[in-house]
Amino acid sequence: MSTQRKTSAKGWAACLVAIFAGMALALLQNKLTPVMAVIMDSFGIDMATAGMLSTIFTVMGIVMALPAAGMLKRLGPRTSGLIAFAGAIAGSLLGIATENVAVLMVSRVIEGVGIGIIAVLAPSVISMWFPPEKRGLPMGIWGSWMMVSQTVLFFSGNAITDAWGWRGMWVLGIVVCVVAAALFAIFVKSPSPEESFADIEAEDASVMDGLRSAPQWILAGVGLCYTYCCFTFANWITSYWTEVTPWGASATATWVGILFLIEMIYTWIVGGILDRVKNRKLVGIAGIVIYGVLGFAMFTMTNILAIRVLTFTYTIFEALAVTAVWALSPDTAKDPRYAGVALGVLNIGLNLGTLLSAPVSGAIQQAAGWGGVAVSFVAVAIAGGVLLALVRPNAAAATE
């Protein structure tokens, strides 16, 4: 039984490098967030357009979600990962070379090829090397991939932009991706048959057959709700705090960086806890609903002390929500061979929520102010909790 099988050092090495690869590519994804005002000024665009520029890469994330599962099956994790890096770096190089917002939009879509592949690949590698009952910790570390990038970017964004302009953020992402690609080529590989807990590369497993699982589609809806909230916050909290507090741009960016740093640590802790919790779904439901309530408070609170307190509590529940969703995803597949497909379906929802978040919430802010953003945040989070309550993991995927 899988409960008697142990993980290996080379499995941990493969998974940690795959997770680092995701973090590196997330730097490309999120590099606009801390310098949104600079981008708006440089290209003369409004909030809605800036929001679309921030999230347009997710178009390829949606398009690539299922092909990424097929690519992983046919080519294996190492080749698939190197293709992801090639696309992302090519898109970034195009972005550096342009001063046209339309071309910059196109470059963001190309970058999205890499994000679309790695978002399926990294958790699939975890599913291959770890049994279901031991996936909580590595999935918790993986669940922090966005927080790690946001922490790095918010702490370094102002200094880099002051020194080199917005293009400095692009260079940062490219350099880190080159390093990550080299490590990926060395350490990431498929487990042997006797070491594998999810034979994602099985020849008799087709992507189309793997799509026939209702729980994974419901969980994708949960993912959509989560990323709508997550990226609404990431894109606009800096603007909100700058408007309602006496903090300047530097202090605001520092506090946002602290928030994501705290959340990153919480996510790792939550991952370890989930390995000891039987009802991961209940943890996720509680996390996303409370997350919505605290998100409402984040966009309505003006008291400095209250904002600081929320910075240390809001992140607990975002970490609970995202870690539970990632950990549950492989178990919504028909059987372990389709874990990659289930993760691909989840990424359709995650990317769609990300795509909608900034432009929709930006339009809401322009029409109804920050109160409208707060209401949309809590409403979408509660909807995610309701959907998560409807998810029924498939027992065949949770055991071998």
- Within a domain: residue 194? no
Please answer whether residues 281 and 328 qualify as being in contact, where contact means their C-beta atoms are separated by less than 8 angstroms.
yes
For residue 16, the domain's CATH number is 1.20.1250.20
Give the end-to-end CA distance of the chain in Å, rounded to a whole number. 7
Q: Tell me what pLDDT residue 2 has.
A: 41
Please count the structural domains in the chain: 1
- Within a domain: residue 57? yes
Q: Tell me what pLDDT residue 132 has.
A: 81
Please give the Cα distance from 148 to 22 (Å, whole number).
Answer: 10
- Within a domain: residue 1? no
pTM over 0.85: no
- Within a domain: residue 122? yes
Please answer whether residues 269 and 296 qualify as being in contact, where contact means their C-beta atoms are separated by less than 8 angstroms.
no
- Within a domain: residue 197? no
Tens of pLDDT along the chain (400 residues) come to 344 457 778 889 999 999 999 999 999 888 887 777 788 888 888 777 887 787 777 777 788 888 888 888 888 899 999 999 999 999 999 999 988 888 988 998 888 888 889 988 999 899 889 888 788 889 889 988 887 887 888 778 778 888 888 899 999 999 999 999 999 999 998 888 878 777 776 666 677 777 888 899 999 999 999 999 998 998 888 889 888 888 877 788 778 778 878 888 888 888 888 878 778 889 899 999 999 999 999 999 999 899 889 888 988 898 888 888 988 888 888 777 788 888 889 989 998 998 888 889 989 999 999 999 999 999 999 999 999 999 987 754 444 4
User: 252 is in which domain, residue-wise?
Assistant: 9-188+205-398
Measured in degrees and rounded to the nearest 5, phi and psi for residue 146 equal -70, -40
Please give the Cα distance from 114 to 71 (Å, whole number).
Answer: 13
- Within a domain: residue 200? no
- Within a domain: residue 193? no
